[in-house]
């Protein structure tokens, strides 16, 4: 929570300029198409949002984000499902579906379905906030989508769209046992993908440095990756907890963001280590945070961390592909003493 920002322009003028920019971006990404359903303004906004949220994922596999194609946008009230594709059709994760939920005027990426290959027989699903995360593999069936909290009208409508139906309604195998050469044999292996263990072994802090991260489903939809620097761990220190939560309605920065606002937060996260002694990290630890909603590129975002040997920050970053990248000074973490971090948006 921060004090009110000084204003040299009216909120109405800022809002008008932002809405005009969004309208121009939305028009560039395409108008409503045959398989789209819902309010035209929502459909156009979702095309822009999905393109932005998928940019980092595409770029990390060598795909130009401009090549991302968004289709089959279905919107019902404050929930939506759409399909996307990019890159080589035979590559895992080159196309999929996305489910979004509107909270505090923002669209949050809460459901990701990835096709294994071009046959669309097998899909992986990842569910996160604001939807209800399953305690076992849930998949993309209508029953699973309803159990996550998506409205029935949205699920029923999406199941009628060919591009979405391929993921939601699995192909029906022939009644007789298929031959080994049959394309339906792949269905037998669809549940063999990676499953996140809710109680995995605690990761060891390696003295040479390494990476600490957790699945988005346990980080409230955020993707937090910590590339930690060389340190004084004796090999018996572990990362006990990496926790993230979205700001409450009272804490989160308003959207659209005007020149005068009080709430500034976009993320809170904690990191705790255990072991028999403190660990001192050399300068150079980096933290990359992908956000499940679109960040305002006109803002700067500062990271502050408390309860290290000395307070860290503020450290500043600007979004690129909806990711904030921070580089930390050296610091010391004490076992059992949680490092508490906050990311806030501010006018530069």
User: Do 181 and 143 share a domain, yes or no?
Assistant: yes
202 located within any domain:
no
* Token couple for 112: 């990701």
pLDDT in tens, 43-56: 999 999 999 999 99
User: Do 38 and 172 share a domain, yes or no?
Assistant: yes
230 located within any domain:
yes
Sign of CA dihedral 170, 176, 182, 186: positive
pLDDT in tens, 246-272: 999 999 998 877 766 677 899 999 999
44 located within any domain:
yes
Under 8 Å CB-to-CB from 143, ≥6 apart: which residues? none
Please say if the pLDDT value at position 199 is more than 80.
Answer: no
* Token couple for 188: 């037998």
User: Do 283 and 330 share a domain, yes or no?
Assistant: yes
User: Do 32 and 167 share a domain, yes or no?
Assistant: yes
pLDDT-based confidence at residue 147 (cuts at 50, 70, 90): very high
At 145 the three-state DSSP class reads helix
User: Do 261 and 300 share a domain, yes or no?
Assistant: yes
* Token couple for 195: 């499953």
247 located within any domain:
yes
Sign of CA dihedral 286, 225, 312, 1: positive
User: Do 221 and 329 share a domain, yes or no?
Assistant: yes
Average pLDDT over residues 282-299: 96
Length of the chain: 348
HSE-CB for 132 with a 13 A CA cutoff: 12
pTM of the model: 0.83
User: Do 157 and 215 share a domain, yes or no?
Assistant: no
* Token couple for 339: 């490092």
200 located within any domain:
no
d(CA 274, CA 68): 42
User: Do 233 and 166 share a domain, yes or no?
Assistant: no
- Better-predicted residue by pLDDT, 107 or 121: 107
Q: What percent of the chain has pLDDT over 70?
A: 77
320 DSSP assignment: B
pLDDT at 5: 37
d(CA 57, CA 63): 9
B/e letters for 157-188, b = 16+ CB within 10 Å, e = fewer, are bbbebebbebbbebeeeeeeeeeeeeeeeebe
Count the neighbouring beta carbons within 10 Å of the beta carbon of residue 254.
15
Please say if the pLDDT value at position 14 is more than 60.
Answer: no
User: Do 220 and 183 share a domain, yes or no?
Assistant: no
pLDDT at 91: 67
User: Do 162 and 233 share a domain, yes or no?
Assistant: no
Average pLDDT over residues 274-286: 96
pLDDT-based confidence at residue 176 (cuts at 50, 70, 90): very low
* Token couple for 257: 């963001």
- Better-predicted residue by pLDDT, 109 or 23: 109
Report the domain count for the chain.
2
User: Do 155 and 219 share a domain, yes or no?
Assistant: no
Domain, as residue range, for 84: 11-189
d(CA 184, CA 188): 8
58 located within any domain:
yes
Last residue of a domain, one of 124, 159, 189: 189
Please say if the pLDDT value at position 79 is more than 60.
Answer: yes
138 located within any domain:
yes
pLDDT at 167: 87
User: Do 35 and 180 share a domain, yes or no?
Assistant: yes
């Amino acid at each position: 929570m921060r004090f009110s920002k000084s204003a040299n322009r009216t909120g109405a003028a800022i809002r008008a300029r932002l809405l005009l920019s969004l309208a121009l971006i939305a028009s560039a990404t395409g108008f409503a198409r045959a398989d789209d359903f819902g309010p035209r303004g929502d459909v156009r906004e979702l095309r822009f949002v999905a393109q932005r949220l998928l940019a980092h994922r595409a770029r990390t596999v060598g795909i130009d984000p401009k090549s991302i194609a968004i289709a089959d946008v279905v919107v019902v009230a404050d929930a939506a499902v759409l399909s996307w594709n990019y890159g080589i059709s035979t590559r895992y994760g080159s196309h999929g579906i996305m489910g979004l939920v509107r909270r505090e005027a923002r669209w949050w990426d809460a459901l990701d379905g990835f096709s294994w290959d071009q046959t669309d027989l097998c899909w992986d699903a990842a569910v996160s906030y604001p939807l209800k995360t399953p305690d076992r593999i849930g998949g993309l069936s209508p029953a699973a989508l309803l159990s996550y909290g998506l409205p029935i009208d949205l699920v029923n409508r999406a199941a009628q769209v060919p591009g979405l139906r391929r993921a939601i309604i699995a192909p029906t195998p022939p009644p007789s046992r298929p031959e080994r050469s049959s394309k339906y044999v792949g269905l037998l292996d669809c549940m063999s993908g990676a499953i996140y263990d809710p109680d995995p072994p605690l990761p060891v802090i390696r003295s040479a440095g390494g990476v600490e991260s957790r699945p988005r489903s346990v980080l409230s939809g955020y993707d937090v990756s910590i590339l930690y620097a060389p340190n004084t761990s004796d090999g018996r220190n572990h990362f006990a907890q990496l926790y993230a939560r979205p700001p409450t309605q009272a804490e989160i920065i308003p959207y659209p963001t005007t020149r005068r606002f009080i709430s500034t937060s976009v993320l809170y996260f904690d990191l705790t280590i255990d072991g028999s002694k403190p660990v001192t990290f050399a300068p150079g630890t980096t933290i990359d945070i992908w956000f499940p909603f679109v960040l305002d590129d006109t803002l700067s975002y500062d990271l502050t961390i408390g309860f290290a040997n000395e307070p860290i920050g503020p450290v500043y970053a600007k979004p690129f592909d909806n990711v904030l990248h921070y580089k930390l000074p050296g610091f010391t973490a004490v076992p059992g003493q949680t490092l508490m971090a906050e990311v806030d948006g501010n006018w530069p």
